Amino acid sequence: MDAPIIETRELTRRFDALVAVDRLNLSVSQGEIFGLVGPDGAGKTTTLRMLCGLMNPTSGSATVAGHDVVKHMELVKDEIGYMAQRFGLYQDLTVAENMQFYADLFGVSKAVRDELSPGLLRMTRMDPFQGRQAGRLSGGMKQKLALMCTLLHRPKILFLDEPTNGVDPVSRREFWAILYQLVEEGVTVFVTTAYLDEAERCNRVGLMNRGKLIRCESPESLKNDMVETCYEVTAPDTRGLRENLHRDERVLSVEPFGVALHVFLKEGVAADLLRDPAVGSDYKIITPSVEDVFIAMIHKTEQEAGRVN
């Protein structure tokens, strides 16, 4: 079995009293799309920055492409592409000029740049816009340009920090189609995302909360291996029903989903409490989405830590 292309062991980062990343253990295989999901402050960006050699861990270790991220930082940087949430495009430069600038920054020769650029422009369908200034591009097109600039030095591993945040749904879909194409070409993708529907596009997903990795599985396993059952509950007064269930200590989580509610009950609790003729409520068992599982797991870990009722 091949060694993981990304691996962390007890990786920890503290900021004074705050533990941003708490003894993180994970491994990512070559050619995998790995998604890291969590609320704001979960530790996703801090994890990414440590893996890219931009921040040293307080303790623990991480290897990327076989190199220790602290001891061999320059070797790591040669193997990776890192696209931050606010990638530094130069707004007054054209698409082609931005690509030329980043090629020079990465030390990419003109011959290699001329070889790679046409393929990147075709893949992203940005070829007709080479002469347009970056500041005049749409949000989705800016993300495509940032991705092209990141790929110019042929990285083995692509680290993307919420790359589609604020991008329209069509552009998000196009961006993910590009990622799938890169994976087919052998690139490994490590992505953080705030969009839980995007987590379902990953080969595996790690759920983080308060610096801890609480689950790490394929999206299908996440949805099918929950101990608790997910129910879709309907009633004429959905809002009132939600308030009642939210106050019930037997309920793990309750969230609106269209005109219905998605409800997880605590382990061992009978589903009878979801059917109430007095308010006209009824239920059925459903397969949860990754979003359902994520919310339920966050509630569960918070309750076990004694932070919520």
Q: Residue 279's pLDDT is what?
A: 80
Q: What is the CA radius of gyration of the chain?
A: 22
- pLDDT class of 308 with cuts at 50, 70, 90: low
Q: Is the predicted pLDDT of residue 1 greater than 60, yes or no?
A: no
Domain boundary among 176, 198, 217: 217
Same domain? For 209 and 241 the reply is no
Range of the domain at 90: 6-217
- pLDDT class of 306 with cuts at 50, 70, 90: low
Residue 306 — φ and ψ, nearest 5°?
75, 20
Residues 6 or more apart whose CB falls under 8 angstroms from that of 305 comprise none
Token duo for residue 15? 């900021």
Question: How many Cα atoms occupy the beta-carbon half-sphere of 261 within 13 Å?
Answer: 27
Q: Output the pTM of the full model.
A: 0.88
d(CA 182, CA 177): 9
Same domain? For 262 and 148 the reply is no
State pLDDT tens for residues 199-209. 889 999 999 99
Same domain? For 94 and 228 the reply is no
Name which of 106, 147, 298, 296 is nearest 208 in CA terms.
298
